[in-house]
Structure 1
Amino acid sequence: MSGSVVHGSRRPAEILPRPVLMDISRLLSRAGSAVPTGIDRVELEYALYLMRFPASQVMFVAFHPVGRIGLLPRRLTDRFLRILARAWAGGTRPSRTASLLAGLLLQAAALGAAGRAKHRRTYLLLSHHHLMRDDVIEVFLKRADATMAVMVHDLIPIEYPEYARPTEPDRHRRRMDTVGRLAERVIVPSRPVDEALRDYLAPHGHCPPVGVVHHGCLVPSNVPASVGNLVPDAPYFVILGTIEPRKNHLLLLNLWRQMAMEGGATPLPHLVIIGRRGWENENILDMIERCPALQGVVHEHATLSDQAVAGLVRGARALLFPSFAEGFGLPLLEALAMGVPCLCSDLPVFREIAGDLPVYLDPLDGPGWRHAIRERCGHDRGAAAQAPPSFADWPTQVVAGLAALAVIDCGNGP
């Protein structure tokens, strides 16, 4: 969900602590993708907001595979970001224009230097996109007279290598080594990520200052009251996220198969799976596609508009979030913001961002999940036991994040 909003042209009143060079390399690489990840959404919202600042305060840069980070034309960058935002909000693949613009912007990155400035600047990298290329980043920082501020979303490939592609743990170690060596400031979305990063970097002898800033929460406006034929007229639950082992879809699929096989007088609720197919998920897909007991009861949707996703979530008996590990948990916040009950794993990060609102369960406690799901079937849809917390909007989060990343004390000057 994480509904993208194309921000207006009105310039914000805030003044950034330093001029910013924001890297949008990940967004350029996703120009042809119809289903954005949570990290894509985060980077896009920051970019859309920062585009509202004048060019004297914010410029945009990107990494080119030739081994160079270069400046991007602002007008083309603005057009690219708006096309991407509209497509993702509408649940459609970005137009061919987005891919063409991405190609033009990458060419510009290969040719355009950031140049020197009167004051030091902050190179802002909000994804892990090219953190392994510490040589390229180091050269860029010297030429642009900039310090590096980076967002670390999680250390899951290092902490839980069993949930990552085989090559990913080593790649992520290299990324975090770059953070420890080159970053002047780091922003993380939660305290567990803060602790994991400090634990990893401590033996290396240097850990830059870290600021914890929770992601903002955007719920699309005009959420439809009906979701049409996306689900049958029956009680249902939703799981939202990339289909991969870490998200623990198998727990739910096995529970649904068990409930379907046992039958009973109580109607079987349906399960709606929303998210693109990830990796190492053969067992999950086999159950979705080939298990007879789940046919017509489990529904998979990979590409939906933000409004459709929000409508499905709002109409659900609850959002199910049985992950084994998370760096944050945007779907949890979004569901709570709409007043939808949530059943989620008992993870420290979920307790940090959601407090006592969800029902917490061990991700391996099948009977506990089954009992909680059956119990929720007897409640009205979207009837949360408590009012959801108040979540700050994205602009506030952007400013808070940049303040956490600032490398200048107020009294020290540039």
Structure 2
Amino acid sequence: MPNLFLDVTRLLSRLYDGLLPTGVDRVGLAYIDHYGARARAVLSERGYCTVLSERHSQMAFEWLRTSQRSKKNIKKLVAISCLDALRQSKIASGFLLHTSHNGIEFPRFYQALQKRNVDVVFMVHDLIPLTHAEYCRPLVDKAHATRMHTALAHAKGVIANSQVTLDSLTEEARRVNLPMLPSVVAHLASGIKPYKESARIIPTPYFVLLGTIEPRKNHWFLLHVWRRLVEQLGSAAPKLVVIGRRGWECENVVDMLERCAALKGVVIEEASCSDERLRNYLQHAQALLFPSFVEGYGMPLAEALALQVPVLASDIDVFHEIADDIPEYIDPLDGLGWLAHIKEYAQPESPARAAQLERVTRFREPTWARHFEQVDNFIGSLGA
């Protein structure tokens, strides 16, 4: 196996800001768990990068794995990286595995690494800013286009989290007349570590909606469905647990959460939810709700099904790729369909829910072992 390097810039930056790990961050942490013992860490800023020494790399990986993610330690690591930059030397050969989209838009990033005989293999999580710019913040589409185009022009290979994502990248490469890189599709495993099952937090039936609050996740639509549930069922309406921090362009969702009287006490917002608490919520839920308009992968879907929790999901291609026919698929604009399925799944002896629980036993859970087997084989082919 060639020398390996892991870019940890995004992880350190987000942890310094006190943010809980997102799906992208969980992937980065999984790569540290798998490759950290034999890899070296890379820090970059606007395309300028430094490779940490083996000792300092292990220090960085250990801090990221454990609770030692203090601002003091991160500042110390940045200072160390500046000293390591003065002692840069060539490496026989190697690959940098870049698992976030951050920083891959600068040509000098690749050029600096290539001078040290290191090629970049980047992971693409989605092309949503290019295919669905209306769901993103202004100008994100242009920034993401620069990332993808620069990476296609300078990287050695690409790891895609789904075939849907890879197809989108292939189409974008064709559209802008860039050659498509060697690639592999490697599905992502759950980022939630196992915990012992504990007593349920909410005694009555409830559903879980998991993900950062942003337009494509369709929170606003589902909150209107819930208001209708309260109108129809009153105090018998099931509760909804909304897990995830407030993101961007979501003022209408915030208005519903904070000002809709009908949802008070029925919708529970968990902006900062530990993995243990999240697992508890999922284990005892009637179902995970996943009404997104578009996703590059959809890790919560895999996480719920791995726990044998039913899922009501949007009828989009990537969910079929991950879960086949196991979830109940509903058009993300079909309000009456979502309303009917939620009412059905809230019942103590729901035939539809029982049928899905039988289907869940057929779920082939994506595992990190399989993911890294595919990545290792791919890196091996590039090295050859």
Separation in 1, partners of 2:120, 2:381: 9
Instruction: Kindly state the Cα deviation for residue 391 of structure 1 after the two structures are TM-superposed.
Output: 2.4
Separation in 1, partners of 2:226, 2:377: 46
Equivalent position of 2:6 in the other structure: 22
**Which of 211, 228, 245 is the aligned partner of 1:258?**
228
Question: 1:31 and 2:4 equivalent?
Answer: no
The SS at the match of 1:226 is coil
- Alignment check: 8 A CA contact 2:184 2:374 kept: no
Q: Which runs of 5+ in 2 are unaligned?
A: none
- Alignment check: 8 A CA contact 2:159 2:375 kept: yes
Instruction: Kindly state the Cα deviation for residue 379 of structure 1 after the two structures are TM-superposed.
Output: 4.1
The SS at the match of 1:130 is coil
Q: Deviations over 1:251-274 (max 9, x none)?
A: 11001111212336x810000000
Q: Deviations over 1:337-376 (max 9, x none)?
A: 1110000001111100111110011100100001110110
- Alignment check: 8 A CA contact 1:70 1:110 kept: yes
Separation in 2, partners of 1:257, 1:121: 55
- Give the alignment of 1:51-62 within 5 angstroms: 51-53=36-38, 58-62=39-43
Separation in 2, partners of 1:71, 1:409: 20
**Which of 360, 366, 377 is the aligned partner of 2:335?**
366
Equivalent AA in structure 1 for residue 295 of structure 2: E
Give 1 or 2: higher helix fraction: 2
Distance 1:83 1:105, change over 3 A: closer
Question: 1:404 and 2:384 equivalent?
Answer: no
Equivalent position of 1:50 in the other structure: 35
TM-score (structure 2 length as normaliser): 0.91
Separation in 1, partners of 2:4, 2:127: 26
- Give the alignment of 1:288-303 within 5 angstroms: 288-303=257-272
Q: Which runs of 5+ in 1 are unaligned?
A: 1-15, 88-94
- Give the alignment of 1:208-247 within 5 angstroms: 208-228=181-201, 231=202, 233-247=203-217
- Alignment check: 8 A CA contact 1:70 1:108 kept: no
Equivalent AA in structure 2 for residue 179 of structure 1: A
Q: Deviations over 1:104-162 (max 9, x none)?
A: 333333443452123x2112211111012222x13312321122111011100011001
Separation in 2, partners of 1:38, 1:252: 22
Question: 1:194 and 2:174 equivalent?
Answer: no
**Which of 297, 305, 318 is the aligned partner of 1:336?**
305
Instruction: Kindly state the Cα deviation for residue 80 of structure 1 after the two structures are TM-superposed.
Output: 4.1
Separation in 1, partners of 2:147, 2:363: 34
TM-score (structure 1 length as normaliser): 0.85
Separation in 1, partners of 2:154, 2:302: 32
- Give the alignment of 1:10-409 within 5 angstroms: 16=1, 18-32=2-16, 33-53=18-38, 58-65=39-46, 67-87=47-67, 98-113=70-85, 114-118=88-92, 120-135=93-108, 137-202=109-174, 203-228=176-201, 231=202, 233-263=203-233, 267-379=236-348, 384-386=357-359, 387-408=361-382
The SS at the match of 2:49 is strand
- Alignment check: 8 A CA contact 1:227 1:308 kept: no
Distance 1:34 1:380, change over 3 A: farther
User: For this pair of structures, how many residues does the alignment match?
Assistant: 375
Equivalent AA in structure 1 for residue 325 of structure 2: D
Q: RMSD between aligned alpha carbons?
A: 2.1
Q: Deviations over 1:312-353 (max 9, x none)?
A: 011000000000110101110010011100000011111001
Equivalent AA in structure 2 for residue 98 of structure 1: S
The SS at the match of 2:382 is coil
- Alignment check: 8 A CA contact 1:317 1:379 kept: no
Instruction: Kindly state the Cα deviation for residue 175 of structure 1 after the two structures are TM-superposed.
Output: 0.1
Separation in 2, partners of 1:268, 1:204: 53
The SS at the match of 1:52 is helix
Q: Deviations over 1:266-300 (max 9, x none)?
A: 81000000011111110001101110000000000
- Alignment check: 8 A CA contact 1:224 1:307 kept: no
- Alignment check: 8 A CA contact 1:240 1:331 kept: yes
Instruction: Kindly state the Cα deviation for residue 179 of structure 1 after the two structures are TM-superposed.
Output: 1.4
Separation in 1, partners of 2:183, 2:348: 42
Distance 1:132 1:110, change over 3 A: farther
- Alignment check: 8 A CA contact 1:336 1:388 kept: no
